């Protein structure tokens, strides 16, 4: 017998000696043993031995999932509440604080629903203007960015001169935002109106509001504009534009070959790129569930004020 075996059986190691002494105690043996012990049969007359088993963990049964009360069109109406999909720019704390500031700003000023292609009038404070306020009316040609950095651009032709004004949606200098014509266009942006005929960007500064029936869908204007000859603001032949009619008239064979060379038609099938450019649906539901109650209350207040404006109280009673 080797020296190590003698010490193991003779209790030479203090830790093994303690374990051997603990094994002599019945309570310690019961606590240290992990095997099931036989239990005497009950009074029912069963002669077979039963084993003591640990109780099974409670199983959580998921019932019918509760449907979300957030309308699905919120992701289009309040698109600026969704954060930037780029991971290097994500910050949950900053995003939550920005949403709180956006709701607080919306409680002070009515920011109605509008899209690219809608005719909007904005009244803002201007220390250099008469009356300290200025009002600009035009068609929305771009909506971009998210959070407190969300902005939109209005375009109009005044005195045969194209004018564009960029507004931050949550700028505290904005006093009033009016939607005079609510509609959509075929493209995500209308920047090509800079190179189109002036008639597509000309709107009367005293234009009256066109009220849609309550609950009616937003109409889509499928008009196709006519571009002026080159030079253009951008190479529109390289963009898949649906709202331009005569883009092929100003594109020669050389420019067409270059457009085909730099085209990437396979990107519309790239699911991972589309995933990186968007916010997952589960996260969208969490964000809008957080702000839904306040946004819904603001919508009810807006509808109530809209009914008051449309009702004209008679001056004389019959």
- Give the confidence band of 306 by pLDDT, cuts at 50, 70, 90: confident
CATH code, 92: 2.30.30.790
Mean pLDDT to the nearest integer, 40-56: 44
Q: How far apart are CA 161 and CA 191, in angstroms?
A: 16
Give the range of the structural domain holding residue 256, as residue numbers without chain letter. 73-297
In percent, the amount of the chain with pLDDT more than 70 equals 75
182-210 b/e with 16+ CB inside 10 Å = b? bbbbbbebbbbbbbbeeebbebeeeeeee
Give the per-residue pLDDT at 67.
Answer: 57
Is 234 a domain residue?
A: yes
Q: Is the pTM of this model over 0.85?
A: no
> Over 90: is that where the pLDDT of 26 sits?
no
Is 317 a domain residue?
A: no
Is 305 a domain residue?
A: no
Give the per-residue pLDDT at 54.
Answer: 41
> Over 80: is that where the pLDDT of 74 sits?
yes
**Average pLDDT score, the chain:** 82
Is 227 a domain residue?
A: yes
In this predicted model, what pLDDT tens digit does every residue of 77-98 receive, in sequence order? 999 999 999 989 999 999 999 9
Is 288 a domain residue?
A: yes
Bridge-based pairing of strands 161-168 and 38-39 is unpaired
Is 318 a domain residue?
A: no
In this predicted model, what pLDDT tens digit does every residue of 189-230 receive, in sequence order? 999 999 999 999 999 999 999 988 888 999 999 999 999 999
Give the per-residue pLDDT at 31.
Answer: 43
> Over 60: is that where the pLDDT of 256 sits?
yes
Give the per-residue pLDDT at 1.
Answer: 53
Is 108 a domain residue?
A: yes
* Total count of domains within the chain: 1
- Give the confidence band of 315 by pLDDT, cuts at 50, 70, 90: low
Sign for the pseudo-dihedral over CA of 21, 22, 27, 29: negative
- Give the confidence band of 72 by pLDDT, cuts at 50, 70, 90: confident
104-119 b/e with 16+ CB inside 10 Å = b? ebbeeeebeebbbbbb
Q: The tokens of 314 are what?
A: 């008679």
Which of 241, 48, 312 minimizes the C-alpha distance to 251? 241
Give the per-residue pLDDT at 303.
Answer: 82
CB 140 within 8 A of CB 154: yes
Q: How buried is residue 162: exposed, middle or buried, by Cβ count under 10 Å (0-12/13-18/19+)?
A: middle
Mean pLDDT to the nearest integer, 117-126: 97
- Give the confidence band of 318 by pLDDT, cuts at 50, 70, 90: very low
In this predicted model, what pLDDT tens digit does every residue of 141-186 receive, in sequence order? 999 999 999 999 999 999 999 999 999 999 999 999 999 999 999 9
Is 34 a domain residue?
A: no
């Amino acid at each position: 017998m080797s020296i190590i075996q003698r010490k193991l059986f003779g209790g030479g190691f203090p830790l093994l000696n303690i374990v051997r002494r603990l094994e002599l105690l019945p309570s310690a043996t019961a606590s240290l043993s992990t095997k099931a012990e036989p239990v005497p049969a009950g009074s029912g007359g069963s002669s077979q031995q039963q084993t003591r088993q640990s109780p099974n963990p409670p199983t959580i049964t998921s019932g019918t999932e509760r449907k979300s009360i957030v309308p699905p069109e919120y992701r289009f109406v309040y698109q600026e509440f969704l954060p930037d999909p780029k991971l290097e720019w994500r910050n949950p704390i900053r995003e939550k604080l920005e949403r709180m500031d956006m709701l607080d700003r919306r409680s002070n000023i009515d920011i109605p629903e509008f899209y690219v292609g809608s005719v909007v009038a904005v009244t803002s404070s201007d220390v250099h203007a008469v009356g300290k306020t200025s009002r600009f009316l035009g068609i929305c040609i771009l909506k971009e960015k998210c959070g407190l950095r969300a902005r939109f651009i209005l375009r109009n032709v005044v005195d045969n001169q194209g004018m564009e004004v960029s507004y931050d949606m949550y700028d505290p200098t904005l006093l009033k935002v009016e939607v005079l014509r609510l509609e959509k266009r075929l493209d995500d942006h209308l920047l090509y109106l800079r190179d189109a005929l002036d008639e597509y960007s000309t709107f009367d500064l005293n234009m009256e509001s066109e009220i849609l029936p309550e609950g009616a869908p937003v109409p889509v204007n499928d008009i196709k504009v006519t571009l002026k000859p080159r030079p253009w603001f951008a190479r529109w032949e390289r963009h898949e534009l649906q709202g331009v009619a005569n883009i092929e008239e100003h594109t020669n064979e050389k420019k067409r070959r270059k457009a085909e060379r730099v085209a990437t038609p396979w990107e519309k099938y790239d699911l991972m790129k589309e995933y990186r450019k968007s916010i997952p649906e589960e996260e969208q539901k969490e964000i809008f569930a957080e702000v839904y109650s306040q946004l819904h209350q603001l919508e009810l207040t807006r509808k109530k004020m809209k009914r008051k404006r449309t009702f004209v109280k008679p001056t004389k009673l019959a």
